[in-house]
Amino acid sequence: MLRAHGAHIIEADSLGRELMEPGHAVFDQIVSAFGEAILNPEGRIDRARLARIAFEGNRLQGLNAIVHPAVIALQQQLMEQLFSRDPKAVAIVESALIFEVVRDARARGEIDTVLSDWRRRIDRVIVVTAPDRLKTARYVDRLKVPPEKRPSAANDARSRLAHQIPDAEKASQADYVLDNSGDLASLQHKVDELWPRLKADSNNSPTSLSLK
């Protein structure tokens, strides 16, 4: 919906998948940390197997410590390229884990870095909320798994949510909150109302908080 308005969307998950491909430093670091058992027969990372090992082995923090800094560095590179072409552009970083990155960085003892303070790289935060039961149902529906695998997929969703900060806590720190518990038409209306404010707010972080 934001892309249709003219926003440039940077998807954190897509960047993460790209960096986890062979030939990237992130790939080498993950294989070194988790072993070659996470590779599929083609020599690529089996993301489902890696996720299972990370979640079940309580190693998610270690995986995130490898992936998050690289993804954020690439996000910044892409945004700098965009703003050099169009200083008035609106760049949207789509990520489920903006606040979790901060939490995990501070847990590692980082205090004054781009990982420990999202304000150093993001002007405004939009939190899209929905009840966990609805998130779980939507996740399972997107996977399009057969009926016998739906309970397992739902458990996977609940496991992921358990590692995330609750919506209420995120909303308390957000600049804008969009309730997505209704239908798409309702969400579209909210996005349409938000867009002019995003255009006005884009790229307005104080210089003292910039990545430089």
Question: The domain spanning residue 94 has which CATH number?
Answer: 3.40.50.300
CA 165 to chain centre: 13
The closest of 160, 142, 141 to 52, measured between CA atoms, is 160
Residue numbers of the domain that contains 42 = 2-209
* Dist CA 154 CA 131 (whole Å): 14
Q: pTM for this structure?
A: 0.81
The bridge status of strand 126-129 relative to strand 91-94 is unpaired
* Dist CA 193 CA 91 (whole Å): 17
The closest of 68, 82, 61 to 10, measured between CA atoms, is 82
For residues 49 and 38, the answer to whether their CB atoms sit within 8 Å is yes
Query: For 28-38, b where at least 16 C-beta lie within 10 A, e where not — what string?
Result: ebbbeebeeeb
Instruction: Read off the pLDDT of residues 88-144 as tens digits, 9 standing for 90 and up.
Output: 899 999 998 899 888 888 888 888 877 888 888 888 999 999 999 999 999 999 999
Under-50 pLDDT residues of the chain: 207-212
Count of domains observed in the chain: 1
